[in-house]
Amino acid sequence: MDHKELYSGLIRLHILHHAADKPIFGIGITEELARHGYKMSAGTLYPLLHGLEAKGLLRSHDKRNGRSVRRLYRATPAGKRALAGAKEKVRELFGELFEED
């Protein structure tokens, strides 16, 4: 059974969490997510980033470094508010998932 649908919300929260802390970029967040067991291709990651940007939760800009250009993503104020609300929901769920019977 493929659990990707269950994890997609967690991946979005991971992205918002890191983008609220500092600017992120594709390969950097791919490596960070891989450390948590989420193996993602660019073909999966970039639509997620673009979707979060379309919803107003991320903002991006290009940064030139010599000849190369890197697109950086940062959480918007709305993204930070959404993350704060999600943290409360995750805390509540975590408590239910791991409470003693």
3-state secondary structure of 69: strand
Write the single-letter amino acid at 84: A
* Residue 19 belongs to domain with CATH number: 1.10.10.10
pLDDT in tens, 8-28: 888 999 999 999 999 999 999
Structure-block tokens of residue 8: 């997609």
Give the structural domain span for 49: 4-98
Q: How many domains are there within the chain?
A: 1
pLDDT in tens, 45-97: 999 999 999 999 999 999 998 898 999 999 999 999 999 999 999 989 888 88
